Amino acid sequence: MSSFNGGPSGDLDEKSSNEMTSKDYYFDSYAHFGIHEEMLKDETRTLTYRNALLHNKHLVKDKVVLDVGCGTGILCLFAIKAGAKHAIGIECSNIIDRAVEVVKANNMSD
């Protein structure tokens, strides 16, 4: 899984609140695990994504899948399980660090 880290204008942690733009606040809000935990705990949402990929394996088999705004990387994992040759996750917030851990923990890293 590939990644882009740091948000639209660099490391968000080094900016003061006076220097942050609305884009910084947006990407910073996704850097915290709480929002991702809430989405992952939404069983209907998560299972719908998983089932959409697993029940349509013919659409992703041997393909390269791109997940823009991958968060924790869960959709990349589902794509690989559905037969994708490779899944690329792109994330502009620091949650990408957790996504890398998730991918490694599931033995799906390159």
pLDDT tens digits for range 6-43: 444 344 455 666 676 766 655 565 555 565 566 666 67
For residue 2, name the pLDDT band (cuts at 50, 70, 90): very low
Nearest to 24 by CA among 97, 99, 93, 95: 93
CA distance 46 to 63: 22
Task: Read off the tokens for 64.
Answer: 């390269």
What's the confidence (pLDDT) of residue 38? 67
Range(s) of the domain holding residue 58: 20-105
Say if 110 falls within a structural domain: no
Could you give the angle at which helices 33-41 and 43-54 cross, rounded to 10 degrees?
70
The answer to whether position 77 is within a domain reads yes
**Residue 8 domain flag:** no
* 79 within some domain: yes
- For residues 73-85, one letter each, b for 16 or more C-beta atoms within 10 angstroms of the residue's C-beta and e for the rest, the string is bbbbbbbbbbbbe
What is the total count of domains within the chain? 1
Higher pLDDT, 67 or 34: 67
Q: Does residue 15 fall inside a structural domain?
A: no
Question: Domain of 29: which CATH number?
Answer: 3.40.50.150
The answer to whether residue 69 is domain-embedded is: yes
- Whole-number average pLDDT of the chain: 78
Confidence of residue 88 (pLDDT cuts 50, 70, 90): very high
Q: Is 11 part of any domain?
A: no
